[in-house]
Structure 1
Amino acid sequence: MSQPITRNKNVMVLTAAQALGGASPPIVIALGGLVGQQLSSDPALVTLPVSMLNLGLALGTLPSAYVTRRFGRRRGYVFGASIGVVAGIVAAFGIYLASFAVFCAGTLIAGFYAAYVQSYRFAAADAVEGPDKARAISWVMIGGLVAAIIGPQLVIWTRDLFPGTPFVGSFLSQAVLALLAIPVLLLLAAKPANTKAQSSAAPTRTLMQIMLMPRYMLAVAAGTVSYGLMVFVMTAAPIAMVGHGHSVDHAALGIQWHVLAMFAPSFFTGRLMARFGKERVTAVGLLLIGISAGFALAGLELFNFWVSLILLGIGWNFGFIGATAMVTDCHTPEERGMAQGANDFLVFGTVAVASFFAGALLHASGWQTINWLVFPAVALVLVPLVWQAGRKG
């Protein structure tokens, strides 16, 4: 019998690191569009800072996979956290200078840090065996619960820390969080006992052979749609809330409830996958994302925004964690680096496009159009996913 997940040191260290590193994106998401409104003269570019975060995440997936494979996960993750420190300082400096370009550079660098943080879930899965993999992924994502509280609350507590330059303090706090993650990550075991044996073996298949597997394609598509739609809607939500008469604090709290909903189900998502199967849980997640769009379309009251964001978060949790677990079933230990890296590159590359498109579409067509587009994207993946789940009985 395998030991409890909570007794696995690496899983617990990665959970703590996720709590600190996972707080960085909510700060950018909650404030990126609002700072963009202050610094950019083009309304269509106000969400560019959030798009740059997601672009950095996409561009950073393959280099971060190489760094952690070449130098080990502990040193690679410490290097990633150091990038996070730089990101917060650059973004804060951009606001201080009233330079939209410098601020966007800071959020781009934050994306590089986020690429390392995103791979914590795979590192946790690799630290355990068999059915414990889904639970390990869920445990690391539980660290996001703390992140959900830290990020938006730091926005509220520190946004006026420096009089005359709002939000500088929020991005300096982002740098502090990354700095605090470094001693935590130093506790990570340098290498699992079997890493050397695994790394010495050559992959049995090429990346193209893996990518052409129907199960891998479906897992990547499910992760892409779950994450892409979540970011597509969440990027526009704070600007839409403020634009329809709600306060900045209400927008930040809406993001906090959303991020809490993203990670709170992680306490039982792994058990649900063990009981009902990864495909069924992923399908329920996509269905919830569709329902969240329905609530958003039902009205513009604070209730509609918040309920929609909460359902969007729960749907993301089931959809993305389920898709991640599906990916781990599609490769051998020798193939994991390229299979996981390719998955994240495809997922977060799409996410970057979605976040940029959200800003332009919100400006051109409005909040309702963004939510109407959720339904066809969900249907595109939900149909084959339900079919696959039915085949597995």
Structure 2
Amino acid sequence: MTMKRNVFLLAFCQAMMMTGNSLIVATASLVGYLLAEDKSLATIPLALQFLATMLTTVPASFTMQRLGRRNGFLIGVALGGAGAATAVAAILAQDFRLFCAATMLVGMFNGFGIYYRFAAVDVATEHYKPKAISYVMAGGVVAAFAGPNLANWTNGWLGTPEFAGSYAALLGIYALSLAALGFLRVPKPAPASDREPGRPLGAILRQPAFVVAVLSGMLGYGIMVLVMTATPLAMKGHAHSFGDTAFVIQWHVFGMFAPSFFTGALIQRFGVLNILITGALLTLGCVGVNFLGTDMSHFWLALFLLGVGWNFLFVGATDLLTETYAESEKAKAQAFNDFMVFTTVTVSSLSAGMLQYNYGWQTVNAGVLPSILVILAAVTWLKARRARAIAAG
């Protein structure tokens, strides 16, 4: 029961983190558009959030190795609360640079929070591991409904300017995370003197499965962020209301996390490589729908497919990654993986606003096609390699 309670608490914390993130995704580029003199910089605050996450991934991993998962998560929540308060002040003061600083603080929180899924591995048995990862990721289903709707409902809480109330609501979300962490119990890391040194990072990186896991995770996440970040601006450009945008983001986030209730079971039944291939094909379907038109139905279906594709790619990549390192190697392996993932995410979010503003929605979608093809080629290669190894005995 302790294992399942811990997984539930981690899923709840994931839900709160992703609720905040979906609120920010729905609003940050619009706030940036309101505050920035150069409107092509509208997605810079969101890009800086991802940049801060990228820069935090490595120190966060080693901090948790030293202090434990729970203490690391508490540090992260404190940073998130500071970011929410700073965002409110920035919007009220109409200060673009201060808003950028606020999103960076939230990004630092995310740099710790992205390890919720790995903490689930720490508390789960070997057989339960894929399901534990999936259930923690499923916590984001709450975010699908809570985040965009919360942004919409609280938009006018503090009067004008827009969205100050939405960011005030983040403080309550992070307070709930803080309360849940008080009940979390994750095994403490072994003392440094008791740990085996493990293989050098270079040896871990040379494993074919590690390469494919990292590629699938980083490119899958990068594709999702590029298209998702540009969506509010694209919808605004095609005369859709913020309510429509919130609805589309809601279903996108639902697509990202609802499959997690069964992704683990699908991995156990069909194999992780088949799930990764399916995720890439669903992402390709998103691009196809976006090429067909810009009606509300096109944005809704495309972003939903993008969410489900991301789920299969990210959960699958995480599960594949855990096959490639020993306990003593997990801090450096996980840190390298998440650093690469969020480096790609940062580049994608930085590119989204400029591509959308200068070249348009079709260019944004065309830009992700090479990455989808790389994922399909890499996973197919690993699948063929494993099949040959089995055939050879």
Instruction: Report the TM-score when normalising by structure 2.
Output: 0.95
Q: What's the offset of the Cα at 1:190?
A: 4.6
Kindly report which structure 2 residues correspond to 1:21-36, keeping only aligned pairs within 5 A, or say none. Answer: 21-36=17-32
Asked whether the 8 Å contact 1:82–1:179 carries over to 2, the reply is: no
Kindly report which structure 2 residues correspond to 1:312-391, keeping only aligned pairs within 5 A, or say none. Answer: 312-391=306-385
CA distance in 2, matches of 1:46, 1:33: 5
Code of the aligned partner of 1:376? P
Asked whether the 8 Å contact 1:266–1:317 carries over to 2, the reply is: yes
Q: What's the offset of the Cα at 1:167?
A: 0.4
CA distance in 2, matches of 1:145, 1:83: 23
Partner of residue 235 from structure 1, selected from 229, 233, 245:
229
Kindly report which structure 2 residues correspond to 1:284-323, keeping only aligned pairs within 5 A, or say none. Answer: 284-323=278-317
Matched, 1:124 2:120: yes
Structure 2 counterpart of 1:255? 249
CA distance in 1, matches of 2:106, 2:60: 13
Kindly report which structure 2 residues correspond to 1:81-160, keeping only aligned pairs within 5 A, or say none. Answer: 81-160=77-156
Structure 2 counterpart of 1:268? 262
Question: What do the CA deviations read for 1:58-94 (whole angstroms, capped 9, x no partner)?
Answer: 1111121122111111111111111111010111111
Structure 1 counterpart of 2:390? none
Asked whether the 8 Å contact 1:131–1:274 carries over to 2, the reply is: no
Unaligned runs of 5+ in 1: none
Structure 1 counterpart of 2:391? none
Kindly report which structure 2 residues correspond to 1:186-225, keeping only aligned pairs within 5 A, or say none. Answer: 186-191=182-187, 195-196=189-190, 200-225=194-219
Unaligned runs of 5+ in 2: 388-393
Q: What's the offset of the Cα at 1:184?
A: 0.2
Q: Secondary structure at the match of 1:8?
A: helix
Code of the aligned partner of 1:305? F
Q: Secondary structure at the match of 2:139?
A: helix
Q: Secondary structure at the match of 1:204?
A: coil
Code of the aligned partner of 1:231? V
CA distance in 1, matches of 2:49, 2:94: 19
Q: What's the offset of the Cα at 1:175?
A: 2.0
- Taking only aligned residues, the RMSD between alpha carbons, in angstroms, comes to 1.5
CA distance in 1, matches of 2:186, 2:314: 28
Q: What's the offset of the Cα at 1:180?
A: 1.4
Percent identity between the two aligned chains: 39
Question: What do the CA deviations read for 1:128-171 (whole angstroms, capped 9, x no partner)?
Answer: 23232111100001110012211111101101111122101111
Give the stretch that moved more between structures: 7-16 or 221-230.
7-16
Asked whether the 8 Å contact 2:225–2:348 carries over to 1, the reply is: yes
CA distance in 2, matches of 1:163, 1:128: 46
Question: What do the CA deviations read for 1:15-42 (whole angstroms, capped 9, x no partner)?
Answer: 1111111211111111111011110011
Q: What's the offset of the Cα at 1:7?
A: 5.3
CA distance in 1, matches of 2:122, 2:192: 11
Question: What do the CA deviations read for 1:317-374 (whole angstroms, capped 9, x no partner)?
Answer: 0011000111100100110111001100000111011101111111111000111122
Give the stretch that moved more between structures: 10-19 or 303-312.
10-19
Code of the aligned partner of 2:67? F
Give the stretch that moved more between structures: 270-279 or 173-182.
173-182
CA distance in 1, matches of 2:197, 2:256: 34
Partner of residue 276 from structure 2, selected from 261, 277, 282:
282
CA distance in 2, matches of 1:78, 1:31: 26
Asked whether the 8 Å contact 2:155–2:166 carries over to 1, the reply is: yes
Asked whether the 8 Å contact 2:218–2:342 carries over to 1, the reply is: yes
Q: How many residues align?
A: 387
Q: What's the offset of the Cα at 1:384?
A: 2.2
CA distance in 1, matches of 2:325, 2:192: 13
Kindly report which structure 2 residues correspond to 1:69-80, keeping only aligned pairs within 5 A, or say none. Answer: 69-80=65-76
Code of the aligned partner of 1:245? A
Q: Secondary structure at the match of 1:205?
A: coil
Code of the aligned partner of 1:65? S
Q: What's the offset of the Cα at 1:376?
A: 1.4
CA distance in 2, matches of 1:301, 1:113: 35
CA distance in 2, matches of 1:347, 1:122: 15
CA distance in 1, matches of 2:91, 2:381: 49
CA distance in 2, matches of 1:198, 1:265: 38
Give the stretch that moved more between structures: 376-385 or 336-345.
376-385
Q: What's the offset of the Cα at 1:8?
A: 2.0
CA distance in 2, matches of 1:303, 1:198: 55
CA distance in 2, matches of 1:63, 1:253: 36
